[in-house]
A and B are shown apart, each in its own frame.
Chain A
Amino acid sequence: MKKIIFLLLIAIAISSCNKDDTEVDVTYRVSKAYSATSVSYINDEGIMSTDTVYFDSGEDIWSYSFNVEKGEIVYVSAIYADSASSVTVEVLLDGKIYKSGSSNNEPGKYVIVSGTIPY
């Protein structure tokens, strides 16, 4: 009986040391645009998607959120044709800005924010 209790204690001690916190909340955010903007991003299935977003004012925000494991690639890009427009692209991890980029009055230029989620 003592042997069994001892064995159980060791098993509990060993199992208690394992940890699992590998997932991160990712949010892509595109804002401060004033005209139609093409937004491309890697979605929750790891596939590249492209949306054309019609921004009416600088207050409008486009966002997309999903959960992903650490180490995965996150990618979002934006491009517009209107020379009077601008755009700000951000990637947030667990609600905090991880990377961002912007352009102002630069039609035809890709603003790409991309990287891997840190371990």
Chain B
Amino acid sequence: MKQFILSFILLVTVNSGFSQGIGNIRGTIIDSLTMQPIENAEILIPKVGKATISDANGFFEIKNIASGYYKVVIRHLSYRSKEKNVELKDGQSLNLTILFSQEIKSLNEFIVTQYSERENLISKLPYIQTTMVQSQIKTSSAGGIGDFLRSSGNISGIRKGGSGIDPVVRGFKFSQLNVITDNGQKIEGGCPNRMDPAVSHLDIEDIKRIDIYKGPYALRYGPNFGGTLNLITLSQKIYDNFTINLDALMGFQGNWNGIKEKLSVSGGNRVFFFGLSGNYKDYGNYKDGSGNEINASYTKYNYGGYIGMKVHKNHTISFKYDESKGRNVDFPALPMDERKDDTRLMSLDYKGTFDNALLDFITFKVYDSDVKHQMDNKERPVSDTVVADSDISANNKGLRVETGINLNSAILYAGVDYENITKDGERIKSMILQPGLPVKKEKLWNNALIRNTGIFAQYSATFASWDVVAAARVDVNYGTSDEIVIFTPMQGEIYRYSTDSISFGFTNFSFNAGATKHLNEKFAISLSVGSGTRSPDMVERFIILLPVGYDKFDYLGNPKLKPETNNQIDLTFKFTDERFGLMQVNGFYSLLNNYITGKRLPPSVQKPLTKGVLGVKQFYNAGNARMRGFEFVYASPARYRLGVSFIAALTYGTIDNSSRYIINDQGQVTGDEEIVNDALAEIPPFEATAKLKYQLFDSKFVPAVEIRMVAAQNHISQSQYEMASPGFVTAKFYFNYYFSKHFSVTGGVNNIFNNTYFEHLNRNIIGEKYELYEPGRSFWINLYFKI
């Protein structure tokens, strides 16, 4: 460990002291037909994160860039985006003349962002980072963020109902992923069974883009073990003149008989800006490919807004508020349904940029995420005897301060973050078939608290043909809860944890370093090595006998759990060519130390509370587990009307040592046996997606076909009696039609051939032996209005 830290420090020191040439990239943006300069074109160099806007003469200049190979991206809302690969030599002031094509001057925002979509397939960092943009959201019928993320390569989701799909990135899930909003706000869901993961508390229509960082590398945004999802909501804009915009959406999805609506107003001037928006979704049950109805209906709506002010040149302060509501959200694969969810998100942000040679920017964010979550089993057969109502409050409040410091051609990001998570709630059981209707109250959480304070730094530099990124963070984590005691009428006290024995704290170190070597203008190779540590979450520490796992066991928290560490290496090859397209191949290997999973407790130690489960498991550190896999991405050249892309991904996970419970013919657990190199449960199988798009009528109409092939998953966990799943192929068609700047339409057909299939990660329907099938054929249409 010490050697690694030393190496890391040396790497940063060596890089910052590296003597390298500095140059400038400047040029002029010109309309190819009129030969007039184009103002307000955006010119960016993704590799160094620098951008500028062309002036009235079409002129732009980006200074102080280290010599090396760069892709310069030029964008303008009315023109087709352009990329240019350049080599900047030592001390050079590279002069570019960029001609924007006139032929599709009426290019719509969909098309502009489609080019972003294509560019985003290739990671600009030494590890895998992809971005999903708004045009992908608009041409998707997904009802939620988790559902939408499943359309990205090597991102899967655990479906338990019609909504609230929980994202899984390369097999990493739950608290192994760091999910944040707008660069730092965190949300703690209320449900122990994760019917309301963080992504479920935001409406997909409010999302501008999603940055996905795979692996334990993005340490700027919080403790990171397996990946980071940064959900960026619709942006706050400064306008030259007072402006008001109105956006509306009306959508319909067949099969579900679902409607979605959105109305937003935004505007402002040079000094202040504001926005108000609301979304409403009402989806019914859906039918699978065989016509079986799945109880997956839900109603969700939210409203909120933001207001901000440019208090001084380059200094902005803004306040954001959002309330979201979930009502009668069905989860057929869980013991309960969400009856009511009231979530309130607030944040106050400051951003200042400086014309200072040293200081680049400062950001400050303070936030409060408050979730009130109610669920019950009233639509389950067991409610004929026992009605269970749960009411949980979960709160996450915190802050984040970050500064960017210019170091020659490098930038150093440094900052602190803090989060305070509290959770409290109980379950009320009404024995409705007993005289007098006796009521029993059980604590699900008893004023549980987790506090995390982190300090982080990330160093990004470019010199010659090398890009280097190195990062480190230290987290001080503390968790506690009020005393936990469980009584049952028949057995008396069956579980007790006092406050003294329940409080634990950790200091965690995470660090990584990576580099990209540009072999020439077309080829690059990247290597990243990192170690990310996360502390156990609320469920793993404090859950009190609830069936929260994949298997049929009551789970018991373990306050004495140690943090879990992911030591990962990523190797990536990148190829970019204007004639042949883009290609990226990545392989990764993860060694997971102190892997957290469940271990069966004998009935003499602990008996379950939930009827029908096989026994009790307690979270423990199981030693080492391993993940490995690859990703492949190809996208055809941008210059053709026909666009082809292909994404494939596989993850393979094993645990060195685990134990399997033995079940006799009567279905009782009689003992355990050790297993070596068992498969990790809930790892997505190999999948590949091919996409074809064609641009018609000056790119105003773009139809697309997508074929997704998923292999059978036969590498399954024996210790958790995981079931194998068959492979399947699905196809979908979708289009977007840009009628005018005021009106556009997207629509399509999902599951064209009405196949009956389920994803490997879908949970089983409660009380049934079959899986939760995906929707059958479904037509959908969205109408977008803009004024």
Contact = CB atoms under 8 A, between A and B. Distances in A.
Interface string A78-119: 010000000000000000000000000000001010111011
A5 B282 CA distance: 26
A18 B328 CA distance: 15
A67 B211 CA distance: 49
A3 B246 contact: yes
Contacts of A116: 378, 383, 387, 432
Interface string B427-446: 00010111111000000000
A3 B787 contact: yes
A115 B194 CA distance: 27
A40 B787 CA distance: 61
B384 interface: yes
> Of A7, A13, A42, A116, which is in contact with the most chain B CB atoms at under 10 Å from its CB?
A116
Contacts of B435: 40, 77, 79, 110, 112
A112 B433 contact: yes
Contacts of B787: 3, 6-7
B166 interface: no
A110 B434 CA distance: 9
B263 interface: yes
B339 interface: yes
Interface residues on A, range: 20 to 34
Interface string A1-12: 001001100110
B263 A119 contact: no
Interface in B403-455: 430, 432-437
Interface in A16-49: 17-18, 40, 42, 48
A71 B437 CA distance: 16
Contact of B261 (A14, A73, A110, A118): A14
Contact of A14 (B280, B378, B379, B387): B280
A119 B248 contact: no
B437 A14 contact: no
Given A115-B384, A119-B328, A17 B261 contact: yes
B282 A17 contact: yes
A10 B278 CA distance: 12
A55 B535 CA distance: 66
A58 B328 CA distance: 42
Contact of B378 (A13, A17, A71): A71
A71 B246 contact: no
B379 A119 contact: yes
B436 A48 contact: yes
Contacts of B430: 73
Contacts of B376: 71
A75 B432 contact: yes
A118 B381 CA distance: 12
A112 B378 contact: no
Contacts of A40: 435-436
A89 B384 CA distance: 16
A114 B433 CA distance: 7
Contacts of A77: 435-436
B461 to A, nearest CB: 49
Contacts of A114: 432-433, 437
B77 interface: no
Contacts of A42: 437
Contacts of A48: 436-437
A119 B432 CA distance: 18
B259 A17 contact: yes
B652 interface: no
B785 interface: yes
Given A3-B787, A17-B282, A10 B263 contact: yes
A114 B259 CA distance: 35
Nearest to B378: A116
Nearest to A10: B248
A80 B437 CA distance: 18
A110 B383 CA distance: 19
Contacts of B434: 112
A118 B434 CA distance: 20
Contacts of B250: 10, 13
Contacts of A118: 379
A28 to B, nearest CB: 13
A31 to B, nearest CB: 20
Nearest to A72: B378
Contacts of B339: 71
A73 B432 contact: yes
A56 to B, nearest CB: 25
B317 to A, nearest CB: 29
> Of A77, A79, A118, which is in contact with the most chain B CB atoms at under 10 Å from its CB?
A77
Contact of B280 (A3, A6, A17, A110): A17
Contacts of A73: 387, 430, 432, 437
A10 B279 CA distance: 12
Nearest to A40: B436
Contacts of A119: 328, 378-379
Contacts of B261: 13-14, 17
A10 B785 contact: yes
A73 B436 CA distance: 13
A118 B378 CA distance: 8
Contacts of A7: 246, 787
Contacts of A14: 261, 263, 278, 280
Nearest to B742: A6
A112 B261 CA distance: 45
A103 to B, nearest CB: 13
A115 B383 contact: yes
A13 B387 CA distance: 38
B393 to A, nearest CB: 20
A10 B280 CA distance: 13
Interface in B248-283: 248, 250, 259, 261, 263, 278, 280, 282
> Of B384, B387, B785, which is in contact with the most chain A CB atoms at under 10 Å from its CB?
B387
Interface string B356-387: 00000000000000000000101100011001
Interface string B622-651: 000000000000000000000000000000
Interface of A: 3, 6-7, 10-11, 13-14, 17-18, 40, 42, 48, 71, 73, 75, 77, 79, 110, 112, 114-116, 118-119
7 contacts: A10-B248, A14-B261, A73-B437, A115-B432, A116-B378, A119-B328, A119-B378
The 10 closest A-B pairs by CB, nearest first: A114-B432, A116-B378, A110-B435, A10-B248, A14-B261, A75-B437, A3-B787, A112-B433, A71-B378, A116-B387
Given A71-B376, A79-B435, A114-B432, 9 more contacts: A3-B246, A11-B263, A14-B278, A40-B436, A73-B387, A73-B430, A110-B435, A119-B328, A119-B379
